[in-house]
Amino acid sequence: MDISIVVPLYNEVESLPELCEWIRQVMDSHNLTHELILVDDGSNDGSWEEIERLKTIYPHIRGIKFRRNYGKSAALHTGFALAGGEVVFTMDADLQDSPEEIPEMRRMVVEEGYDVVSGWKKKRYDPFLSKNVPSKLFNWAARKVSGIRLHDFNCGLKAYRNDVARSVEVYGDMHRYIPVLAKSNGFTRIGEKTVQHQERKYGATKYGMDRFIKGFLDLMTVMFLTRFAKKPMHLFGTLGTLVFLIGLTIALYMGVDKLIALINHIPRKLIADSAFFYIGLTSMIIGTLLFIGGFLGELISRSASERNNYEIEKTI
């Protein structure tokens, strides 16, 4: 099979018939075999009943229904596990992602050797202040932290080699950072394609401003997991040692200064009366706690069942 298209959805009953027909037309016009995996994330507007109806019209549709709303990451993770196509696509169900982009993005993966191709909604039809500006700030921060030169991490339209999709564990709200997770697994050929963005035709957006706050927090989480999950002492031990040395330096300075003053009969106030004494003491305590935290993290990591799980590309 050429293509698997994973579409997570929540209360998108109005857009589903048009989306399925649009995808079918594009696939048929390019002679691409495909499957459409619709993951209903606990909808309550009749979306699942519509999927069951569409299944009778389009035999290539596969449907998954969650008992309740788990989130986009859970839907993608479940869809990836079932995907059998050579190239796996993700796209939103709200008709804002154009299936017309799929053939060219597939070509980039198959012929140009990309592991991941991410869409870039260069011209957006979203509210400027509530979505465009926060999105630009978020994408700038994600580029700086991850080192991946993508303009639009949030774009729902992405293409993955099948082994890339299956190697990535998506949970929480990590769907924004699948390219980062893929890179941490050794899939470094990550490309980008400018894609057409449509105005929302039916319903209303399911995301508010809080998604950008959560996005920044998730960015910190994913960067910690990809860099230090198997070596927590490298982070906490380094920070702990640095903070402890700062406190120790302050304490030694105050102690030497007090000793010199006593030898030379120079009046000095008590060390405990100085604010620097408490700054130094607190720094040493915090540094010690950070170091202990890193040590405990190493013990937990050592006993984890997946500590020696590595991505093997080939064997002979």
Average pLDDT over residues 80-105: 94
Residue 59 burial by Cβ neighbours in a 10 Å radius (0-12, 13-18, 19+): exposed
Token code pair at residue 41: 């994330």
- What mean pLDDT comes out for the span 99-103? 95
Domains of the chain by residue range: 3-228, 232-303
Superfamily classification of domain 3-228: Spore Coat Polysaccharide Biosynthesis Protein SpsA; Chain A (3.90.550.10)
To the nearest whole percent, how much of the chain has pLDDT over 70? 88
Is the model's pLDDT at 85 over the cut of 90?
yes
Q: Is 40 strand, coil or helix? A: strand
**pTM confidence score:** 0.75
Using alpha carbons, select from 163, 145, 26, 32 the residue that is nearest to residue 97: 26
Task: Assign 84 a pLDDT band (cuts: 50, 70, 90).
Answer: very high
The b-or-e profile of 4-32 (16+ CB within 10 A means b, else e) is: bbbbbbbbbbbbbeebbeebbebbeebeb
pLDDT digit string, tens, across residues 261-303: 888 888 878 888 888 889 999 999 999 999 998 888 777 766 6
The DSSP result for 171-229, as a single string, is -TTGGGGHHHHHHHTT---EEEEE--BPPP-SS--S--THHHHHHHHHHHHHHHHHHHT
Confidence bin at 127 (pLDDT 50/70/90): low
138-160 pLDDT tens trace = 888 888 888 899 998 888 899 99
- Burial of 270 by CB count in 10 Å (0-12 exposed, 13-18 middle, 19+ buried)? exposed
Q: In whole angstroms, what is the distance from residue 124 CA to residue 189 CA? A: 26
Mutual orientation of helices 47-57 and 16-29 as an angle, nearest 10°? 30
- Above 80 in pLDDT, residue 46? yes
Question: How much of the chain exceeds pLDDT 90, in percent?
Answer: 51
